[in-house]
Structure formats: structure tokens, C-alpha cells
A and B are shown apart, each in its own frame.
Chain A
Amino acid sequence: MAIPLWRLTHERTEAAPVEAAVSETGGKAIHLQLSFTQMPREFKVLYSGKAVWTETAPRQDEARDLKIPFPPEGIDLQFEIGWTGDALAAAKIQVTIPDGRVIERSIWSKGTAEEVVTFQ
């Protein structure tokens, strides 16, 4: 009973592996956490034009460590989130950078969101 019915009735795709091209941070990773007001069909996170995290039928809260370099200039992550229907939905995005600092941003959209978000 602890497992929500939704999780049992939706197919879940395991996350795509982070591309080798972006794993040059000397072993350090950023921690990316996503929370949705409405469950999307799928989402994709891109760094430098490459997909670093893809989920189909994600949970309401998702988190993952990504080996992405975090220079003093910060990083841009591109989010593609496919929500069902036209109701206004939001995603809260938290990035924990290697020095422990947490940076929070949000995306609001009706339907599909495609947005570049800067963390610095």
C-alpha cells in the first residue's frame, strides 16, 4: 500500500547515463533535484547541448548526481519537460554544487516547457 498506484500503472524508464563528454569534473558531481507540481510525461536535462538525464513517467520528486563541471562562471542547464494537458504546472529545481551551496530555480509552463536555466 505504500507504493502509490500511479507508480504501479506507469512504465518507468531508467535514466540515461551521463555522457562521457561532460564527466570532467575531477570526480565531483552536482546534485540535481526536481520536484513537480504535476507529474510530467517525461523530461530531459541537457548540458552543453547533450542530454545528461532523461526520464519517462518520472516520480513527483526526482534526484540525481551529475558529473558536470561547475566553474566560477556557473552553468546553464536546458530543461525539456512534457506535461499532459494545458494546465499551468511548475517544476522546482535545486542544484547542490560541489562546495555544498544549494541554488534553487523554478520553471512554470502550460504544456511543454523548454527553458535554459542558469545556476551561478
Chain B
Amino acid sequence: MRRIALYLAALFVLGGVSLAGEKVRVSSFSTVLTEIAEQVGGAHVEVTGHVKPGTDPHEFRPTPDDLSKVANAQLILLSAKNMENYLPKLRESAGAKGMMLQVGDQFPSLKLPAEGENGGKEIEDPHWWHSIDNVKRATLIVRDALIQIDPADRKDFDASAARYVERLDALQKWVKSEIAKLPRNQRKLVTSHDAFQYFAHDYGFTIYPIEGVTAQDQPSSKKVSDLIHVIKEQHVKAIFPETMENPKVLTEITRETGAAVGGELVADGLGAGDASTYEGMMKHNVSTIVNALK
């Protein structure tokens, strides 16, 4: 009997299964997933958000402190779709025993034409959270992982996930109604980096990015000149910088085309102030776009 009890205890510890009353330790490398884990897990989880709101996830590199927290986590949440290029290091250095969940890889990707050294090939757009449907999917994926680790609290995880999805449904309704204020032929989005393909897909926008997938991909002079031509030809009213990079090229384009600067969009996860929650970030982006383009 004692041997069985020892075996079960070992299984729980090594397999990442939580003991009764103990909080599930979650390490998250996405600001959106941090919010989902907190909302779904509630009092049953202790979430460490390694990537903070307002940090560029393309540029984030884990510190030794991050790695030690990951080594101790039961659930590690990753945005995936090649966002975390430090993943092998994370696996190797942390020796993580917890469940490593690459959330974004569990739903379909939109492809982008790559630039720079990947020129000519298509790459996955990693910014999946700009589709509310994807965030709903992510919520259910996180819920299922928490249930697997802590089956005793299944009822609470189910109820919290349902409440969060309900809020996402209401948000989606609001977004649709706001976007409907823009005629479909005016839904042309010139942004600094290519982060809004999922949003464009859901709401009928065409994206003209100035830079590539990351804010550090600098545009060639030919690209800038082509873009100026498109903005004039398509009568694009406004262009949108983002909160995380230098808007110098944008300023040049606005001067050449007469298009206004439409306000800053939050592209790479949750931002600051009102945009520090998922709902706030989506409402900020949608209001900024609609007000500038209508």
C-alpha cells in the first residue's frame, strides 16, 4: 500500500500533475497567453509572464532567472508559429519537466511573403492573436492543459474558460459592428510591420506593410517607393505606426502621399494602459483604425 502511494506521488511530481490544494505553476512567453492562463486558471494557478506587456516578443531573450522559473513550471505556454526562436535553448538549458504547450501551432497559419535572408520563401505569420477566433481556440487549449495537470479543479477551469469565451464573443460582436462603419473598399491598412494578416483575414482588410514580420526588418527604397504609389492609387487615408519601433520611414511616406498618421497600433501582444488587456488592446486597435479610415 505504501509502495503504491509512493508511486502515485512520484507520478504526480514527474508528470507535472498537481497535488490537491497546490497551485499549478505556469510559465508564459506570450502576454496574451498570460492573460488566458490567469483568466482560466484563477486561484488555482500561479502564472509567471516572462514577456511583459509592451516588450517586443521578436526580440525577447530569456534570462537565467526566466530559465530557472521554467525549470520549475508545470505548464509552459508558448505563442509558437516560430515566434520563440530561443525555444531549443529553453528546452536544453531549463531542462523543463513541465508540459510545453506550443499553442499557436495548434491552429491554421496564414502565410506571409518573407523578406531579407528568407526572401522569396513564405513564412508563417506568428501574430495569431489578432483573430478573436484564435484566442477562443487558445483559451480551450489552455483549459484542457490545466485540466490534464489539475483534474480535481476541472469544474472551475471549465466555468472560467466559458466565461472568458463569452467575453470574447461580446468583443467580437463589438469589433464587427465598429468595422462595419468602414466600407469594405476602404479597408486598406498600411502598417509599419506585417503583423495584422489574421485581423485582415477576419475583417476584410488588405495589408500593405512597410517592414517585414519583425519591426527590425527595414524596407528597401524600392519598397518604400512602391508603397507610396499604392497609397496614392488606392486613396489610403491614413497609415499606422506601431508602439515598438521608429516611425521615421512612416513620416517620409506621409509627407510624400499626404496620408495622415492614423495613431499607434499595438501589434506584438498586449501593450500599456488601456491596451494592457486583450479586450483593451483589440478595442484600442479597432477604434484607432476606424476613426482614421472612415
B294 engages A48 (CB within 8 Å): yes
Residues on the B chain within 8 Å of A69, using CB: 183, 185
Residues from chain B with Cβ under 8 Å of A57 in the complex: none
Q: Cβ of A78 and Cβ of B180 under 8 Å apart?
A: yes
**Cβ proximity bits A89-120 to B, threshold 8 Å, 1 near / 0 not:** 00000000000000000000000001010101
Task: Mark A44-81 against chain B: 1 for CB-CB distance below 8 A, else 0.
Answer: 00101100000000000000000001011111111000
Is the beta-carbon distance between A73 and B294 smaller than 8 angstroms?
no
Can you report 6 residue pairs joining A to B where beta carbons are below 8 Å apart? A74-B184, A76-B179, A76-B204, A78-B177, A118-B184, A120-B184
| Interchain CB contact under 8 A, A75 and B173 | no
Query: What are the 5 tightest A-B residue pairs by CB atom distance, in nearest-first order?
Result: A49-B181, A71-B185, A73-B184, A116-B176, A76-B180
CB-defined contacts of B81 to chain A, threshold 8 Å: none
- Say yes or no: A73 contacts B182, CB within 8 Å: no
Contact with B along A4-42 (1 / 0, CB 8 A): 000000000000000000000000000000000000000
CA distance A78 to B176 in the complex (A): 9
Q: Which residue of B lies closest to A49 (CB)?
A: B181
Give per-residue flags for B171-195: 1 if the beta carbon is below 8 A from chain A beta carbons, else 0.
Answer: 0010011011111110100000000
The answer to whether A75 and B177 touch across the interface, beta carbons within 8 angstroms, is no
Hey, which chain B residues are within 8 Å of A77, CB to CB?
180
Question: A48 and B182: CB pair below 8 A?
Answer: yes
What is the CA–CA distance of A36 and B260 in the complex, to the nearest angstrom?
Answer: 44
A116 and B204 in contact, given A48-B294, A69-B183, A75-B184 (Cβ under 8 angstroms): no
Query: In the assembled complex, how far is the CB of residue B236 from the closest CB belonging to chain A, in whole angstroms?
Result: 14
B residues within 8 A CB of A71?
A: 183-185
Interface residues of A (CB under 8 A from B): 46, 48-49, 69, 71-78, 114, 116, 118, 120
A4 to B187, CA, bound (A): 45
Give the CA-CA distance A75 to B204 in the complex, in Å: 10
Question: Are A76's CB and B184's CB within 8 A?
Answer: yes
B182 neighbours in A (Cβ, 8 Å): 48
B residues at A contact (CB < 8 Å): 173, 176-177, 179-185, 187, 204, 294
Taking the closest CB of chain B, its distance from the CB of A26, in whole angstroms, is 14
Residues of B within 8 A of A74 (CB): 184, 204
- Cβ of B183: which chain A residues have Cβ within 8 Å of it? 48, 69, 71, 75-76
**The one of A46, A72, A73, A114 that contacts B187, using a Cβ cutoff of 8 Å:** A73
Which chain B positions have C-beta within 8 A of A72?
185
Chain A contacts for B181, CB-based, 8 A = 48-49
Give the residues in chain B near A49, CB-CB below 8 Å: 180-181, 294
Q: Taking CB as reference atom, which chain A residue is nearest B204? A: A73
Query: Of all chain A residues, which has the CB nearest B176?
Result: A116
Q: Which residues of B lie under 8 Å from residue A76 when comparing CB positions? A: 179-180, 183-184, 204
Q: Contact: A114 with B185, CB < 8 Å? A: no
**How close is A20's CB to chain B, nearest CB, in angstroms?**
15
Expressed in whole angstroms, the minimum distance between the Cβ of B213 and any Cβ of chain A is: 25
The reply to whether B185 and A116 form a contact with Cβ atoms under 8 Å apart is no
With a cutoff of 8 Å between Cβ atoms, the chain B residues found around residue A116 in the complex are 176-177, 179-180
- CB A116 to nearest CB in B, in angstroms, measures 4
Q: Contact between B294 and A114 (Cβ–Cβ < 8 Å)?
A: no
| B185-A48 in contact (CB<8A) | no
List, in ascending order, chain A residues with CB within 8 A of B177's CB: 78, 114, 116
**Bound CA span A52–B179, Å:** 17
- Known contacts A73-B204, A120-B184; can you find 11 more A-B pairs with CB under 8 A? A48-B183, A49-B181, A49-B294, A69-B185, A71-B183, A75-B184, A76-B183, A78-B177, A114-B177, A116-B180, A118-B204
